């Protein structure tokens, strides 16, 4: 057994052995990975955990696809780009207007409710990557389609839209939280699966129609009442706070962009690798090719390193926009 295994790691390992579902196993493996000391003595164990995580994710996805068989494919937009964000809200909250203002999509927009009856997809450009936004039909308590639930639970993050021009915005907030509870989704900084079937999902609130009268007063009521929530003021009409909203969408995905370069050449800044926050040099190498990762000796990093081109080991944790030069 590798030395210096923490009590937290051993507890997570016990959870894995006792897990009865794929989701429980995946959660336990992620805890094992997070609490595992990263040094040469645990290299093989690190690789084994990564392999098991990858295999279980594949099995979970295959199970989801089996459940979807028989349902029209247009109900389940295939994930594209750096991540998928589901847009949830009540009728006339402005979900479709937000989609149109941020992407190349051109959904039908009207002043009457339930204009959106099927998922609407658009790709949002954020600097050098594309993020997929999925506008869903309105969510009402105990009145939603089973496929809406599946899309939200499988998305990488959730954008919850509130109409800040409405005097009922507090009631809308509570109702949408109840809807999430019904579909067993909780907002969290990280995706997690609980033993009760609840999924903790990354997400935030957009306060649309912030150009309306009384918006700032309602905003203060919300932020004072729910200080632990993330609220982004926005106006799809005039684009107020558009860059802030785009930044929050990117942040909600908990991903980083990593660029590669060959020795003696300029880095490739056109097509970054997309990795989870906390990924290491070895993770980046495995993303390129498993055999490449096996031969990796060290890397040089520009960006988060102490100095440009610093030599780092395989367990070096990368940051967004790092440039990596691999040496095998």
pLDDT tens-digit series, residues 53-90: 888 887 777 666 656 555 555 566 788 899 999 999 99
Q: Where are the beta strands (DSSP E) in the chain?
A: 84-89, 120-126, 129-135, 157-163, 185-187, 192-193, 199-201, 203-208, 231-233, 255-260, 268-276, 298-302, 310-312, 322-327
pLDDT at 108 over 60: no
The distance of Cα 126 from the centroid of its chain, to the nearest Å, equals 15
**Please, what sign has the CA dihedral across residues 94, 96, 99, 104?**
negative
Q: What is the mean pLDDT of the chain?
A: 84
pLDDT grade, residue 311 (50/70/90)?
A: very high
Which pLDDT score is estimated for 112?
45
Among 57, 15, 8, smallest CA distance to 37 is for 8
Which pLDDT score is estimated for 288?
80
- Does 214 share its domain with 231? yes
pLDDT in tens, 254-293: 999 999 988 888 888 888 999 988 899 988 888 887 777 7
Residue 278 belongs to what domain range?
255-327
- Burial class from Cβ neighbours inside 10 Å (0-12, 13-18, 19+) for residue 36 reads buried
Neighbours of 264 (CB within 10 A): 6
In the DSSP assignment, the letter for residue 272 is E
Structural domain total, the chain: 3
- Looking at the domain assignment, is residue 235 inside a domain? yes
Average pLDDT over residues 190-197: 61
- Does 260 share its domain with 247? no
- Looking at the domain assignment, is residue 170 inside a domain? yes
- Domain boundary at 68, 85, 116, which? 68
- Does 246 share its domain with 303? no
- Does 142 share its domain with 22? no
Can you give the C-alpha Rg of the chain in angstroms?
22
Query: The domain spanning residue 42 has which CATH number?
Result: 1.20.58
- Does 192 share its domain with 92? yes
Average pLDDT over residues 126-137: 92
- Looking at the domain assignment, is residue 2 inside a domain? no
Average pLDDT over residues 89-113: 77
pLDDT at 145 over 80: no
Give the rounded percent of residues in the chain with a pLDDT score beyond 90: 36
- Note every long-range contact of 48-51, with CB atoms under 8 Å and residues 24 or more positions apart, other chains counting: 50/283, 50/286
pLDDT in tens, 32-55: 888 888 888 888 888 888 888 888
- Domain boundary at 219, 252, 285, which? 252
- Structural element, H or E, at residue 115: none
Among 328, 326, 327, smallest CA distance to 268 is for 326
pLDDT at 114 over 60: no
Find the range with the poorest average confidence among 47-56, 135-144, 167-176. 135-144
Give the rounded percent of residues in the chain with a pLDDT score beyond 70: 88
Q: Tokens 């609980």 correspond to what residue?
A: 194
Which pLDDT score is estimated for 232?
95
Which pLDDT score is estimated for 184?
86
- Does 232 share its domain with 267? no
Which pLDDT score is estimated for 125?
93
Q: φ and ψ at 264, to 5 degrees?
A: 80, 0
- Does 135 share its domain with 29? no
- Domain boundary at 204, 231, 252, which? 252
Our CA angle for 203, 206, 212, nearest 5°, is 170
- Looking at the domain assignment, is residue 94 inside a domain? yes
- Does 158 share its domain with 241? yes
- Does 187 share its domain with 310? no
- Looking at the domain assignment, is residue 134 inside a domain? yes
Query: The domain spanning residue 218 has which CATH number?
Result: 3.40.50.300
Average pLDDT over residues 111-134: 80
pLDDT grade, residue 118 (50/70/90)?
A: confident
Query: The domain spanning residue 317 has which CATH number?
Result: 3.10.20.30
**Measured distance CA(296)–CA(50) in Å, rounded:** 16
Q: Report which of residues 10 and 243 the model is more confident about.
A: 243
pLDDT at 243 over 90: yes
- Does 176 share its domain with 111? yes
pLDDT at 205 over 90: yes
- Looking at the domain assignment, is residue 1 inside a domain? no
181-219: b (≥16 Cβ within 10 Å) or e = eebebebeeebbbeeeebbbbbbbbbbbbbbeeebeebb
- Does 197 share its domain with 260? no
Among 18, 11, 158, smallest CA distance to 89 is for 158
- Looking at the domain assignment, is residue 311 inside a domain? yes
- Does 223 share its domain with 84? yes
pLDDT grade, residue 211 (50/70/90)?
A: very high
Which pLDDT score is estimated for 247?
95
pLDDT at 229 over 70: yes
Q: How many residues does the chain have?
A: 328
């Amino acid at each position: 057994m590798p030395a210096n295994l923490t009590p937290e790691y051993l507890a997570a390992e016990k959870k894995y052995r006792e897990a009865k579902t794929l989701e429980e196993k995946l959660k336990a493996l992620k805890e094992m990975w997070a609490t595992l000391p990263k040094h040469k003595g645990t290299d093989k164990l690190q690789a084994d955990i990564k392999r098991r995580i990858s295999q279980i994710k594949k099995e979970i996805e295959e199970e989801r696809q089996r459940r979807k068989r028989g349902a029209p494919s247009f109900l389940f937009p295939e994930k594209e780009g750096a991540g998928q964000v589901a847009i949830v809200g009540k009728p006339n909250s402005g979900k479709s207007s937000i989609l149109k203002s941020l992407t190349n999509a051109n959904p039908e927009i009207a002043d009457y409710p339930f204009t959106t009856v099927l998922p609407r997809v658009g790709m949002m450009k954020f600097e050098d990557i594309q993020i997929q936004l999925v506008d869903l039909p309105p969510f009402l308590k105990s009145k939603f389609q089973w496929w809406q639930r599946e899309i939200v639970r499988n998305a990488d993050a959730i954008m919850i839209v509130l109409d800040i021009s409405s005097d009922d915005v507090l009631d809308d907030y509570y109702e949408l939280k109840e809807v999430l509870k019904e579909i067993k989704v909780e907002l969290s900084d990280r995706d997690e699966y609980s033993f009760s079937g609840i999924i903790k999902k990354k997400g935030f609130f957009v306060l649309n129609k912030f150009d309306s009268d009384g918006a700032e007063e309602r905003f203060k009521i919300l932020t004072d009442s729910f200080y632990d929530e993330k609220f982004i003021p926005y106006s799809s009409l005039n684009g107020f706070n558009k860059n802030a909203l785009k930044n929050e969408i990117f942040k909600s995905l908990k991903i980083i962009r990593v660029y590669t370069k060959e020795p003696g050449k300029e880095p490739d800044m056109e097509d970054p690798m997309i990795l989870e926050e906390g990924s290491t040099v070895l993770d980046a190498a495995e993303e390129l090719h498993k055999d490449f990762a096996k031969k990796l000796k060290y890397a040089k990093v520009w960006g988060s390193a102490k100095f440009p081109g610093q030599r780092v080991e395989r367990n070096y944790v990368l940051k967004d926009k790092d440039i990596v030069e691999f040496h095998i």
